[in-house]
Structure 1
Amino acid sequence: MKISKAELIAVLSQFNPWWRNEPIADLPTWRRAAFNELQDWLSTPPAPRAVMLSGARQIGKTTLLLQMAEALLKQGVPSANILYATLDHPLLKLVGIDAVLDAWREREPKKEGPEYLLLDEAQFIREWGTWIKHQVDFNKQRRIAFTGSATPLLVEGQESGVGRWHTIRLTTLSFYEYLQIKKVDLPPLQSVTSLKDLFGWTKPDLYRISELAAPYVGHFHEYLVRGGFPQSAQVESVTQAQRLLREDIIERVLKRDMTALFGVRRILDLENTFLYLCLHDGGLLDMPDLCANLEVKRPTAQHFIDLLEATHLIYRLPPFGYGKDILRARFKIYLADAAIAPAVMLRGKAILEDPAALGIATETAVFKHLYARYYAQNVRFSYWRGTKDREVDLVAEVGNQLIPFEVKYRTQHTGLRDLKGLIEFCRQKKINRGYVVTKSLDDFGPVESMPDSDAKIMRIPAPLLCYWIGRLELGVGD
């Protein structure tokens, strides 16, 4: 099938309104935390590399690219030197990336200075890893940012991509970003530069923040059921938000992307596997139980789980340890967003009346926030299990330091008797600080001194922890 150059140019012109000296329509003024990192890599690259924005569907990757185009234009980059294209467009998929670049240059002859290629859904480029490697190696004046909502193509492209691109992993909106996009008017809270700051706060400091944070709690609970996806965050009702989220995940990712990108044919088995994981969010993965319930063989189930992780719908958390300690151990599964399970199950706000489900959703949200904050520092996350089934929900390994997090999202205040796993872990590993994520705003402050341990444990209400971690991710301070 032959596509005329005029047809191709017409499509590209619609994607690039700046070629006609027109503004980008409906571009939000708020920016994701990743914008600054992306801008640094494109404006003053620390190294000659492309930039990959990797993350699930509908979390703002396209908006980031268009905001980047707007920022470049404001910096004085000639409009002719900026190309945005979404490679999942049927016409662009058909003609291929080289024809797209030829049409661009026919429509907009190159001006002096670097060229900027902003490419959406780059996994649709044939042999995309090799193509980007070639661009980075031989077109030094081209700066490339590309996205992928399904990129274990990372696995395919890893060898050729070493040193050729920098990856920015996007999670769903943090609680702080969610409040910004919703334009909620709340009393400002004192910022922190690190969670360690809290150990220096006085009782009056803690009490004052607890009082100010009271209006945040309701918004945090709605955030848990509405989700950290920009589109679902802005619709009127929670029911509509969940329906949109369910359609994006079930219809687009599981049924369309998995077929188009990975050749999955057993869509019903894949969907059932994902539903099983939704029912066991935050729990240990029991492969024999999954296979028995869904009547699938273990290699098939394992393949489905790999694909779900590759499309950024789940995270797998290994047990704490190395080598033989974890070879046969079970992984912990977290969904990419706390709202996914209630949305897929169309539960509305029912989890808010279910203490166990609300605790799981909070743990999922806490993990997502910590992952988003620290992934760039190559932090390793795991969970820990000790004697008598004592456990620690999350362990962050930051360099040579271990920082444990335990989620206790319940009405009762938290004391030493509730933290046997955390106490055992701190003693064994000689840890000097850890955190307990609590529910009540007045369940905030240091835990009483632990016997036979120098560890300091800080209780932090979940809305405050997620708010502060989101601000830290954005680099927001006083």
Structure 2
Amino acid sequence: MKVPKEELVAGLAQFNPWWRNESIADLPGWRRAAFRELHTWMTSPPAPRAVLLSGARQIGKTTLILQTVESLLRAGVPAANILYATFDHPLLKLAGIEAVLEAWREREPKVEGPEYLFLDEAQFIRDSGTWIKHQVDFRKDRRIAFTGSAMPLVDASQESGVGRWHTIRLTTLSFYEYLQIKKLSLPELPGLRSLRDLFDWTQSDFYRTSEAAAAYVGHFHEYLVRGGFPQTAQVDSINQAQRLLREDIIDKVLKRDMTAIFGVRRILDLEHTFLYLCMHDGGLLDMADLCANLQIKRPTAQNFIELLEATHLIYRLPPYGYGKDVLRGRFKIYLADAAIAPAVMLRGKAVIEDAAALGVATETAVFKHLFARYYSQNVRFSYWRGKKEHEVDLVAEVNGSTIPFEVKYRAQHTGLRELKGLIELCEQKHIARGYVVTKSLYDFGVMSGLPQPTAEDNKPPTQIMRIPAPLLCYWMGAMEITTEPEQD
């Protein structure tokens, strides 16, 4: 659609204050773990590719982009060669990408050096996948970063997009990042390079760390109900934070994005499907029960679930294995953040007082942290079910290793009788190390009494480490920032 150029130039000038030699307002001093990766791709790209920042709404993608812009300006990149444009804005959405670029160059003539294009909510650009592919192939003078809360182009243009963009998948804030933006003064915890380091600790190391971590538990529980969204994490009232989060998900994602991007018309059925998943967070998806309860047909429900995954509101985990085991099995569903379910249900702090709900929220948070930690390593997550309904909550397959995690967030001490599934899986697959995520800070350390293989078995002994959930989530977030992902 034809948009008056004067209006378009004026709109772009508002989004690009550096053209007027003005600083970027209200940028936080803290940076997400992904900043380092994005900055590297924009300054010294390992390959000629665009960068896709992919993730749910309100998790800090725009802030990350503007922090990168600020860093480029400080490094001496000419302001005229940097463009930020959000296609969530009606004026830019109507004008289209080519009109935006033309208005940019009328307002700011090109200066020698690369051009930097930061395109927010790029799913609203017409044929965005094809356009980005063309830019990467034929405009070597441009470095492009684009974001998407819902990116159909990733699937629709999968073949043409191969080798054209690098994806940085953003999750909500880790517990470590949450503590940083809250600027809390807490006892210092020892650093870890890898979870494997814990197997070399002495008993006194575990005791000292448990004592220091006592101050973290209350903040961890509040993190579970407040959520890892930067805006809501900083709101004083938990009820207000939950209302804001609910509005962002229900009103902006389900009612607006689903209609505008995917053409969904049965919004009420979609909302009911999402509410059903919120009530079954961390559980196996029973499609027959979902369809019967909501009175919708299976293909419709399947489509809704795929759309919710495309908008980064849920994760789906297949059963462990390959081939028929996966095809016949049911998916396990996790919400993108532990706070989503209590926010959608407006439960306030009630989750903390409900042992079962708190356990579910913790398992969701643990998965999110493990996903964020291992995602760049092409990890495959699944769950495992063995004999007599024995289960393991999470199995990560990364770098040729299989790493199982079982979440037991309850007051009771975790003994071997509660870990039959984990022990069975480790013995069956010859897994050297497994992890149990616990509640008590003193339910921490290497488990004893495990059955050991004989010399004839010719396999390594299994070690199982118990780790309190606040410490696991803290270390996963800290390691994401300070180290490269480990190989177990």
TM-score tier, shorter chain, comes to: over 0.9
Separation (CA, whole Å) in 1 of partners of 2:327 and 2:248: 34
TM-fit CA distance, 1:189: 0.6
Q: Which residue of 1 aligns with 2:72?
A: 72
TM-fit CA distance, 1:88: 1.4
Q: Does 1:199 align with 2:234?
A: no
- Which of 463, 467, 479 is 1:472 aligned to? 479
Secondary structure of the corresponding residue to residue 322 of structure 1: coil
Q: Which residue of 2 aligns with 1:269?
A: 269
Q: Does 1:47 align with 2:47?
A: yes
Deviations 1:87-125 (A, max 9, x none): 111111111100000000011111111000000001111
Separation (CA, whole Å) in 2 of partners of 1:363 and 1:3: 49
Separation (CA, whole Å) in 2 of partners of 1:111 and 1:408: 58
Q: Which residue of 2 aligns with 1:458?
A: 465
Q: Which residue of 2 aligns with 1:354?
A: 354
Q: Which amino acid counterpart does residue 115 of structure 2 have in structure 1? A: E
Q: Which residue of 2 aligns with 1:412?
A: 412
Deviations 1:438-466 (A, max 9, x none): 00000000011411441000000000000
Q: How does 1:312-323 map to 2 (within 5 A)?
A: 312-323=312-323
TM-fit CA distance, 1:325: 1.1
Q: How does 1:48-197 map to 2 (within 5 A)?
A: 48-197=48-197
TM-fit CA distance, 1:418: 1.2
Separation (CA, whole Å) in 2 of partners of 1:220 and 1:282: 19
Separation (CA, whole Å) in 2 of partners of 1:47 and 1:449: 50
Separation (CA, whole Å) in 1 of partners of 2:394 and 2:121: 32
Deviations 1:133-175 (A, max 9, x none): 0100110010000000001331112111110000000000000
Separation (CA, whole Å) in 2 of partners of 1:313 and 1:51: 21
TM-fit CA distance, 1:261: 0.5
Q: Does 1:378 align with 2:362?
A: no
5+ residue gaps, structure 2, are 454-460
Q: Which residue of 1 aligns with 2:212?
A: 212
Q: Which residue of 2 aligns with 1:244?
A: 244
Deviations 1:298-330 (A, max 9, x none): 000000000000000000000000001111110
Note if contact 1:114-1:143 (Cα within 8 Å) is conserved in structure 2.
yes
Q: Which residue of 1 aligns with 2:441?
A: 441
Separation (CA, whole Å) in 2 of partners of 1:54 and 1:286: 28
Secondary structure of the corresponding residue to residue 38 of structure 2: helix
Secondary structure of the corresponding residue to residue 109 of structure 1: coil
Separation (CA, whole Å) in 1 of partners of 2:263 and 2:323: 33
Note if contact 1:427-1:452 (Cα within 8 Å) is conserved in structure 2.
no
TM-fit CA distance, 1:229: 0.2
Q: TM-score, normalised by structure 1?
A: 0.99
Note if contact 1:172-1:229 (Cα within 8 Å) is conserved in structure 2.
yes
Q: Which amino acid counterpart does residue 128 of structure 1 have in structure 2? A: S
Q: Which residue of 2 aligns with 1:36?
A: 36
Separation (CA, whole Å) in 1 of partners of 2:446 and 2:240: 41
Deviations 1:331-366 (A, max 9, x none): 000000000000000001111111111000000000
Note if contact 1:118-1:145 (Cα within 8 Å) is conserved in structure 2.
yes
Q: Which amino acid counterpart does residue 462 of structure 2 have in structure 1? A: A
Deviations 1:399-418 (A, max 9, x none): 22111000000011111111
Secondary structure of the corresponding residue to residue 215 of structure 1: helix
Secondary structure of the corresponding residue to residue 209 of structure 2: helix
Separation (CA, whole Å) in 2 of partners of 1:9 and 1:152: 29
Note if contact 2:258-2:264 (Cα within 8 Å) is conserved in structure 1.
yes
Q: Which residue of 2 aligns with 1:253?
A: 253
Q: Which residue of 1 aligns with 2:231?
A: 231
Secondary structure of the corresponding residue to residue 342 of structure 1: helix
Note if contact 2:394-2:405 (Cα within 8 Å) is conserved in structure 1.
yes
Note if contact 1:449-1:456 (Cα within 8 Å) is conserved in structure 2.
no
Q: Which residue of 2 aligns with 1:293?
A: 293
Separation (CA, whole Å) in 1 of partners of 2:299 and 2:483: 45
Note if contact 2:123-2:152 (Cα within 8 Å) is conserved in structure 1.
no
Q: Which residue of 1 aligns with 2:17?
A: 17
Q: Which amino acid counterpart does residue 298 of structure 1 have in structure 2? A: R
Secondary structure of the corresponding residue to residue 126 of structure 1: coil
TM-fit CA distance, 1:57: 0.1
Secondary structure of the corresponding residue to residue 405 of structure 2: strand
Separation (CA, whole Å) in 1 of partners of 2:356 and 2:336: 19
Q: Which residue of 1 aligns with 2:456?
A: none
TM-fit CA distance, 1:5: 1.3
Q: Which residue of 2 aligns with 1:283?
A: 283
Secondary structure of the corresponding residue to residue 283 of structure 2: coil
Note if contact 2:177-2:477 (Cα within 8 Å) is conserved in structure 1.
yes
Note if contact 2:452-2:462 (Cα within 8 Å) is conserved in structure 1.
no
Q: Which amino acid counterpart does residue 385 of structure 1 have in structure 2? A: R
Note if contact 1:93-1:124 (Cα within 8 Å) is conserved in structure 2.
yes
Note if contact 2:123-2:148 (Cα within 8 Å) is conserved in structure 1.
yes
Aligned length: 477
TM-fit CA distance, 1:3: 2.2
Q: Which amino acid counterpart does residue 40 of structure 2 have in structure 1? A: D
Secondary structure of the corresponding residue to residue 213 of structure 1: helix
Note if contact 1:175-1:220 (Cα within 8 Å) is conserved in structure 2.
yes
Moved over 6 A (4+): none
Note if contact 2:316-2:333 (Cα within 8 Å) is conserved in structure 1.
yes
Separation (CA, whole Å) in 2 of partners of 1:426 and 1:33: 32
Separation (CA, whole Å) in 2 of partners of 1:14 and 1:449: 65
TM-fit CA distance, 1:127: 0.4
Q: TM-score, normalised by structure 2?
A: 0.97
TM-fit CA distance, 1:476: 6.0
Q: How does 1:299-310 map to 2 (within 5 A)?
A: 299-310=299-310
TM-fit CA distance, 1:182: 0.7
Separation (CA, whole Å) in 1 of partners of 2:483 and 2:206: 20
Q: Does 1:392 align with 2:399?
A: no
Q: In terms of mean alpha carbon deviation, does 124-133 or 445-454 score higher?
A: 445-454
Separation (CA, whole Å) in 2 of partners of 1:107 and 1:288: 58
